Every structure is written in structure tokens, then in C-alpha cells.
Structure 1
Amino acid sequence: MQYFPLFVDTQALSVLIVGAGEVASRKLALLARTDARIQVLAPATTAEVDEFEAEGRIALERRPATLEDMQGFDLIYLATANEQLNIDLAEAATQAGIWCNVVDNPKYCRFITPSIIDRGRLVVAISTAGAAPVFARSLRARLESWLPQSLSPLFDFVAQRRDEVQQNVAAPKSRRLLWEHFFDLNGDKWDNDTPTHFQQAMTLAQDNSQRQGRLLLLDSCIEAQWLPLAVMPLFSQLDCIYSDLSIPFKINELLRRDANRAGIPHFTQLTGRLAQGERMLIFANPVEIAALQDQFPQAQSIKPGSL
């Protein structure tokens, strides 16, 4: 992974954009939606940049940038039509310890800006590390159609309820179960039923007797590409992963990263953990899987292409 995705709090971020042509305007249109303090340096500007200045969303100086300007900022975008000037300014920024992005010149970029889907508190970033921006745009268009606009008010509602959950549901696992149940009930909608779904989820989280454990059995002979799609949400909800074998990388990448991991416990321990509502996966050889199926008929055995 050459580029590691990070989300930066823009409330105290200062950004310099050098250039005010079409490319710089596109960068500016994204940045102007954040809380960052934005400075633009350019001898000539587009109507869009002038509009941002008139609205007070940027500070604009109509002059060429100099090497001395490459200091006092957290991030710098260089988007002039002069390639050598961009390189000179990038080197000055690097010497000053400032992360810099040079448009269309990855060699001088300390960071890149991904393709972004904005649903308020939910932000999705897509990058091909500069290799295939056309594909990234195509994927973004598909995701845009899949993620409804209702997610923005929905996540505002969720954010407003987090303190209430923190105060009333002590155990981290119970809080996670609460939110899982809420989204199972509510989906991605934001409507009059959303507060009711939240209260139902809160009631369930406070009543341990309603929790049901789950045991998934995965034969070590099954390869990742043959796993059924239906099992993916269950993998993301796992509390524990048990195996005496080394789990292949491609399968391991699909499992919940925060799940506890250990060797396979005794049958009596598994019975107790199921009674406590634990959601578990056992990865084992075919002989062990068969024995577990006999002992736990309620277990869900994962087959190639089916669950």
C-alpha cells in the first residue's frame, strides 16, 4: 500500500493553493466545503475563484507565488501552468517540512486527493494511487447512486445519540450490538420511524437475556474466492475467531479486525460462550468441523457459495 488513507480534521488546517485556473478551481471546490483556512495565490483567477473570495470562503492574493510563500501552511497544492515553477515551489515546501501536492506530477506529491463521496459525517474516499483516475471516477459514480442522501441526516441523528448510549450502556460490546441492531432495524433511511428503531435497539442492549450467540464453522479447505457473499456481514460482527491453524491472508482480511483470537476451546467453553451471546467463527480442518457439527447442530457451516 503506497498511499495510506487518513482523514484530517480541517477545523485547524491551513491550506495554500497556488494557481487559480481550471484544475486549481476543482481542488478549491472540494476544499471550500471544509472548515480549513484557505489561501490562494495567483496573478489571474477564474470567475469561480472570484466567487469564493466574494463569499469569504478563501483569502486571495492576485500575484505570483514565491519561494518565501512556502511556509506557515499545513498543506500546499501547486497547480500553476509552469511545470518548473511547480517543482521549485514543491522543493521549497518540502524543505520547510510542509506536505505538498503538485498537480499531474506524482513524483513531487507527499499526498494525493482521492475521489470523494460526501454524505455529511459519512465520507468515502477512493484512490487508485494515480494509476487509473477514470476508473476511480466510474466507481465513485456507482457508489453515489448506491448511498442515499438520507445518510447525512441519519448520521447526524446517530452522533446526537452517542452520549446517551455511552451513559446508559456500559459495556463496549453491548454498545456495538446496540448500533448493529439499530441499523438492522432502520437501514439507511431517515424518517419518522428512526427514533423508534433507536429506542428498540436501546431496550435490547440493556436486556442481556435477548442476546443470541452464533457459531460459524469454516472448513480450512475452502478458499476465499468461494466464500458466499451472505457471510460477509456475519464476518464483520464476530466477537471471537478460534483456530489452531494459520488463517490464510485473503480470508483473514475479510474477518473483523477487532475480534478476539485464540485456539479452539473445549466444547463446554463454546457452549457457555454461546449462552452469553458470543458470535464466533471456528476455522479448522474437515475432521474437526464434522465433530463440531455433531456437537453443535445449531452452528452454521459455511459452504462454497452458500451458508
Structure 2
Amino acid sequence: MSWLVNDIRPGKVLLVGEAMGLFTAGEEGPCSQVGAFGASVAGAELNVAIGLRRLGQDPLYMTKIGDDPLGERIRLFMEANQLDTSLVELSRERHTGFMMKTKESAGDPKTYYFRKDSAASTIGAGDVRALDLTGVSVLHLTGILPPLSDSCLAASKELLCAARANHMFISFDPNLRPVLWRDPETMRSTLRSLASHADLVLPGIGEGVELFGVERVEDIAQAFLDNGSRVVVVKDGPRGAYVSDGNQSAYVPGFVVDHVVDTVGCGDGFAAGVLSGLLEGLTVEAAVERGCALGAIQTQHISDNEGLPNPQELAEFTASHTRVAL
């Protein structure tokens, strides 16, 4: 029996979201006391686009940036990574959002967002309707765009409508950011609704707990399937990932790494790995294994996207690292 994701077609991958400046502390301690920060670029959808581009895919990334140094940094960063900037709109009225992140020797870093009234928060349904979707076969949507503003929520819904009308394959990463939402129930109901339209959904354990009140990978997958998604890949941290379409399932082990530098951006790397694998015609299990590899690679880097590999780097990593024993 074949997995339902086998109907994904080669083509461009559309991503829409907020690109941000990222300032990472150069030493441990509160951001209010650290003396130096490293500057880079972040944004969940942008991270996925970079991962896809480095693996030879053709992502199409839409965002809005301010006419300011951070906006210019983002544009230059995209050009350096050979990403098409034709869908990057410059605003002279709104600023570019940014975030600050602590450096931690153990545990996840603390992240602070400064994105209210940013240029990207004005993305709306009209921007989506104006897109030329020629050659686009995949939409990858995350749960970060919808809560940025009412217009961003409308854009998210319009993206799903456009994807269905144009027979695109829809990938959805819930990517919970509770601080962005008005209240927990609005977050839960909205993300469950968006996920119901997805051909492929990529939740983590925490998202299963928050959205459906279950924590076993099998139960999380079933909850999303019962909600309407066609195939679910549940990220289980360093252990690997569980995939199910309701008729068949598999557990794909992760990769052993000696230490973890930073976990931010791992889920974005995972998504890029899975999608690139499926677009190349890999089996679902092989695509999920690639996702696990990119997630593990990203744990070795402070930046949200600097570790995302090209094909040779990916091959070297998978050849030199063992899989987790289940």
C-alpha cells in the first residue's frame, strides 16, 4: 500500500511569513546584561526556504520588510542564499521585526520578539490573490503567520483556498507560539482548523498536548488524522519521528549527536528535509529520515539556519552518524 503523500508533484514551494533580524547573545546571561550579540536573520518560513534551496529545490518566499538596516540585511541574506527576492515587498511606513535570543549551556534559549506593527504584519489576502502561482506545486504554511494580525490570518486562509484551487500539496507545521495569540482557545481552534486542510502536518509532542490533550506519538498522529489531515509526522525530539496515514505507520529513528548547541530552528530544518525528500521522490520513511538528519544538524549551530546543509554536507553527516537505538 502506498502512502498518500506519493501524489506530491515536482515544482516550486510557496512559503509566506515574517523574516526577522536575530540578535543572539555572545555569552551566557540575561539579554539585559550581555555585552555583545551576533546578528543574523531568522523566520520559520524563511528557514525552511533556505533549507530547501540548499538541497536544490525551488522555494518561492513572500514577505514584507521595512526600509531599514534589518530589512536590507534580510534582502542581502536571501540573495546570498540564492533565494528569489521578487516577492519581498519594501515598506516605508513599517519597520522590520526582530528577536533577541539568550545563549545557554543547557536547555533551550530564551527568545524575545519585537514584531508588533511590523511590515510583515500587514500581509493580507489581497497579497495572496495577487500571486502568480504558475509552477507552484506545494504550499508550506506554519502556525506563526496567522496570529501576527487579522490580515495575516486572512492571508493564511486565502493561501489554503488558493492551494486547493490550484491542486497544490499542502504542508502545515503548527509551530506553536502562544505569546502571539490573543488567548489559548483561539490558538487551539484556529490551528486545528488550518491543520484540517493539510495533506501533511508536522507537529511536535508539545503541540499534540496543547491542541488535542494527548502526548503519545500514536495518539497525536490519530488526533490530527481524525481532525482531517491526510498524513501526520510527529516529531519526537532526538528519538526520531512517527509517521502515519491511518492505514499504515512507521517510526523513523533520529541521529545521535555528541552535544546540543541550540534547538531553535530544528523543526524548520526537519520540514525542509521531509519536503525536499518527497519532492525528489524518496519514500516517506527516507524523507522523514532526512528530516531527522537536518534537525540534528541544526542542533549543532547557534543560528536558526546557518547549519542547513547542501547535498554533500547532508551525505557526509548521514554517513558519519549512527541512528538512535529504539
Q: TM-score, normalised by structure 1?
A: 0.30
Q: TM-score, normalised by structure 2?
A: 0.29
Indicate the structure with greater strand content.
2
Q: Larger relative contact order (C-alpha < 8 A, sep ≥ 6)?
A: 2
Greater C-alpha Rg? 1
